[in-house]
Amino acid sequence: LRRNPGEPEFHQAVHEVLQSLAPVLRLRPEYAEAKLVERLVEPERQVIFRVPWTDDRGEVHVNRGFRVEFNSALGPYKGGLRFVPGLGLGTVKFLAFEQIFKNALTGLGIGGGKGGADFDPKGKSDAEVMRFCQSFMTELHRHLGEHTDVPAGDIGVGTREIGYLFGQYRRLTNRHEAGVLTGKGIGWGGSQARTEATGYGTVHFVSEMLATRGQNLDGRRVVLSGSGNVSLFAIEKAQALGARVIACSDSSGYVVDEDGLDLELLKEVKLERRQRLTAYADARPGAAFSTTGSVYDVPCEIALPCATQNELEEQHAVTLVKNGVQAVAEGANMPCTPDAVGVLQEAGVLYGPGKAANAGGVATSALEMRQNASRESWTFEETETRLATVMSSIHADCVTAAGEFGEPDDYVLGANAAGFFRVAEAMHAQGLV
Ligand code: NDP
């Protein structure tokens, strides 16, 4: 704590991992001697830089950029860029730390990193976003490379931003190095199914969890938070598997639609018109928009928090349990507070932590890197099949790892132990670096 003051989210993420590693570390006394945990919690490198840019009126703005290159024992640093106002180092470090274990779980040879800036793309013109991205990449490019560090999108960074970032990287380096960024457009090196991958993968993970109890998603009431990239495609896959998705949210409130959300309308409102959820409720008879309480007050059997960190708090978990929730899987990174996780696990709810449940996005990014390296383009079906295989294997690895400690239902223990072993063995084998 003293070494990393003012970084509560990073402390929270490290605490969660170390708590479940105590029994794991007893099996490997040699790791203590090699100070493996002490090395694991210290980033290999972190870069903080100035990002000056001008708005459409010619006014100068100065933002702060970050890239935390946390661990490359398994492969090049891999993890998204987040553009949100107020972003700080502690948030980027928490995300990069989580990414180490998530990426290890995919088994696809990628290390952990994360980055971003305290820049708000909302309300900015395309030209402003382009100038910001160009300035951001002008510094960041010297730290990147397909074998070094490969960023992707995250909150506030979609295909538009990746396009501007990639264009500037190409101009600065005079190289068409497609594998340096993932989340690219389909026509210029992007992978089919990358946009859908995180949401689809999360629903695939829930299906696997339910199957351990002989259940599935057909006819189940599902509620999720957010209405961005992860949420929209989680809704799409859940509906395809027969679930009734009845509520979702954005930062202005939540909408309840007992007939089941109209995904086409929701996509139009969110992706095309870039409007708030009220616009959905206005256009859809029977749907109600609310700003009181929380989306988790809506009774459901499956809850998928897909918005942001620490949004599902203890009282929300208590309500979910009271209303009979059976499974909660994190589409977002660390959306449940530690107290909420405690309530869910205590009640015997199947709980899938983000580092396992939302790993489908980064797994498909790694598949995009493979396609770039071999100059191939796989079909949507082929990519989705590979994604499903990766998610099933992550699920199986979690159950096996947790089962070795007598807790096969404990996906937190399973994900942390399985991810840790892969990274720790590589670090140990590679010596004191
Ligand atoms: P988006 O920016 O596309 O969507 C985020 C959504 O969450 C928006 O609808 C936003 O609403 C909403 N939101 C933000 N804060 C709140 C809040 N406090 N309460 C309710 N809703 C809120 O981001 P993504 O969908 O890409 O990412 C969501 C989460 O998933 C993040 O934690 C991200 O790190 C994680 N993730 C994303 C991956 C990806 O492939 N995109 C991969 C793995 C994890 P509004 O528009 O009003 O701000």
Q: Where residue 169 sits, what CATH number does that domain have?
A: 3.40.50.10860
Question: Within a domain: residue 402?
Answer: no
Q: 384 in helix, strand or coil? A: helix
Instruction: Say whether both 207 and 170 belong to one domain.
Output: no
Question: Within a domain: residue 414?
Answer: no
Cα–Cα separations (whole angstroms), residue 188 to 118, 159, 191, 362:
28, 11, 9, 19
Question: Within a domain: residue 170?
Answer: yes
Question: Within a domain: residue 272?
Answer: yes
Question: Within a domain: residue 429?
Answer: no
How many other β-carbons are positioned within 10 Å of the β-carbon of residue 355? 31
pLDDT at residue 274 in the model: 87
ipTM of the complex: 0.99
Ligand 1 center to 271 CA (angstroms) = 13
pLDDT at residue 3 in the model: 87
| Structural domain count of the chain | 2
Q: Quickly list DSSP for 353-388.
A: -HHHHTTHHHHHHHHHHHHHHHT----HHHHHHHHH
Instruction: Say whether both 218 and 110 belong to one domain.
Output: no
Q: What is the largest CA-CA distance in the chain?
A: 64
In 261-367, which ranges are E strands? 288-290, 302-304, 327-329, 350-352
State which of 106, 155, 202, 310 you would mutate to test the pocket of ligand 1, scoring each by most atoms of that ligand within 8 A of its C-beta: 155
Q: Nearest 5°: CA angle at 134, between 147 and 115?
A: 50
Q: With a 6 A CB cut-off, is 227 part of the ligand 1 pocket?
A: yes
Instruction: Name the catalytic one among 93, 102, 114, 270.
Output: 114
Instruction: Say whether both 258 and 125 belong to one domain.
Output: no
Write the residue with the smallest CA distance to atom 4 of ligand 1.
Answer: 228
What does the radius of gyration of the chain's CA atoms come to, in whole angstroms? 21
Ligand 1 center to 400 CA (angstroms) = 30
| Catalytic residue list contains 35 | no
Residue of 338, 249, 337, 324 lying closest to 294 (CA atoms) = 249
State which of 154, 278, 394 you would mutate to test the pocket of ligand 1, scoring each by most atoms of that ligand within 8 A of its C-beta: 154
DSSP-derived letter for residue 143 is: G
Instruction: Say whether both 317 and 273 belong to one domain.
Output: yes
Instruction: Say whether both 201 and 111 belong to one domain.
Output: no
Q: Quickly list DSSP for 298-328.
A: S--SEEE--S-TT-B-HHHHHHHHHTT--EE
And the tokens for 393?
Answer: 């294997």
DSSP-derived letter for residue 269 is: I
Consecutive sets of 10 residues in the chain, 433 residues long: mean pLDDT of each?
Answer: 90 94 89 93 98 98 98 98 98 98 98 98 96 98 98 95 98 96 96 97 98 98 97 98 98 97 97 94 97 97 97 98 98 97 98 98 97 96 97 98 94 97 96 92
pLDDT digits (tens, 9 = 90+) for 313-367: 999 999 999 999 999 999 999 999 999 999 999 999 999 999 999 999 999 999 9
Instruction: Say whether both 217 and 145 belong to one domain.
Output: no
Q: With a 6 A CB cut-off, is 115 part of the ligand 1 pocket?
A: no
State which of 162, 273, 308, 391 you would mutate to test the pocket of ligand 1, scoring each by most atoms of that ligand within 8 A of its C-beta: 308
Q: Where residue 238 sits, what CATH number does that domain have?
A: 3.40.50.720
Question: Within a domain: residue 406?
Answer: no
Write the residue with the smallest CA distance to atom 30 of ligand 1.
Answer: 332
And the tokens for 213?
Answer: 């109890």
Q: With a 6 A CB cut-off, is 364 part of the ligand 1 pocket?
A: no
Instruction: Say whether both 140 and 276 belong to one domain.
Output: no
Last residue of a domain, one of 320, 352, 384: 352
Residue 218, domain extent = 196-352
Instruction: Say whether both 172 and 253 belong to one domain.
Output: no
User: Which atom of ligand 1 lies at the shortest distance from residue 354's CA?
Assistant: 44
Instruction: Say whether both 53 and 138 belong to one domain.
Output: yes
Distance from C-alpha of 74 to C-alpha of 104, rounded to nearest angstrom: 7
Last residue of a domain, one of 326, 352, 378: 352
Question: Within a domain: residue 171?
Answer: yes
Instruction: Say whether both 61 and 132 belong to one domain.
Output: yes
pLDDT at residue 1 in the model: 72
Q: 76 in helix, strand or coil? A: coil
Q: With a 6 A CB cut-off, is 250 part of the ligand 1 pocket?
A: yes
